[in-house]
Amino acid sequence: MSLDAAAVQQRIEAKFPGKITSAELEVTDPFLVIDNAAIVEVGTFLRDEPELAFDMLHCHSAVDYLELKEPEKARIEVVLHLTSLKHRHWIVLKVMLPRDNPKTPTLENIWPTANWHEREAYDLFGIEFEGHSDLRRIFLPEDWAGHPLRKDWEWPDEWHGIAVKPDEKFSQRAMEGENIGVGPFD
């Protein structure tokens, strides 16, 4: 029997009261925001509870919200897309982390696939996953500086003598209304 996001929220609330800090159920992909400290318990519960049985973590992303206008809302979100193969339902969980020194417990003991996804998030966002068995950079060289998907990351001029900095930011040109790239408009 598949459950919708509200039902899932209800079940988590019943088991762990107050651990869902907020929820958004009216959007395309409804999501629940889980307290960072409780994510391992909630994850284990979601996987093991027969009615929920979210056995597949099919996508694991991180998003950096710089929020220059409202600095108090600046955060890094870890977004977990969970699917249950048994009940054929899915849910999105989010964990909010502070931008400086983000830390969250690892989920690799619940869903083994998190191992590489967390390494990716560590590599590109600098999120530290506590208790991770092998937290190394996965894509970038070991001696790369910074975490490029952070919104305030700046291009280094060079890496071991290789020029890596682009001349002009495409985004700025796009913002000014210039037609860049291969769009559908001739």
Partner 1 sequence: MSSQTQYKDLEPDEAYAFKPEDLEPDEMILNMGPQHPSTHGVLRIELKTDGEIVKDAQPHIGYLHRNFEKHAENIDYQGVIPFTDRMDYVGSMNNSLTYAVAVEKLMEIEVNERVQSIRVITSELQRIASHLLALGTYGMDIGAFTPFLHSFREREKILDLFEWLCGARLLYNYNWIGGLSHDLPNQWTDRAKIFLDQFEPVIDELDNLLSYNKIFTKRTADVGIIPPERAVGYALTGPNLRGSGIKWDIRKEDPYCGYEKYEFDVPVGQGRYGPIGSCWDRYYVRVEEMRQSVRITRQAIEQMPAEGDVRETVPKRVKPKPGEAYGRTEAPRGELGFYVVSDGGLIPYRVKGRSPCFVAMSIFREIAKGEMIADMIAIIGSLDIVLGEIDR
Which residues of the shown chain bind partner 1 in the complex (CB under 8 A)?
A: 27-29, 55-59, 61, 63-64, 79, 81, 85, 88, 92, 111-113, 115-116, 120, 124, 137-143, 145-150, 152-157, 159-160, 169-171, 174-175, 180-185
Given the DSSP bridges, would you call strands 56-65 and 103-105 parallel, antiparallel or unpaired? unpaired
Residue 114 near residue 57, CB atoms below 8 Å: yes
Q: What are phi and psi of 86, to 5 degrees?
A: -75, -50
Instruction: Give the integer Cα–Cα distance in Å for 89 and 148.
Output: 34
Q: Which is nearer to partner 1, 14 or 176 (CB)?
A: 176
CB of 145 to partner 1, least distance (A): 4
Q: Which is nearer to partner 1, 51 or 154 (CB)?
A: 154
CB of 72 to partner 1, least distance (A): 18
Measured CA angle at 130 (ends 142, 119), to 5 deg: 35
Q: Which is nearer to partner 1, 39 or 125 (CB)?
A: 125
CB of 14 to partner 1, least distance (A): 26
- How many other C-beta atoms lie within 10 A of the C-beta of residue 49? 14
Q: Which is nearer to partner 1, 29 or 130 (CB)?
A: 29
The dihedral built from the CA positions of residue 11, 90, 60 and 62, taken in this order, carries a sign that is negative
CB of 150 to partner 1, least distance (A): 6
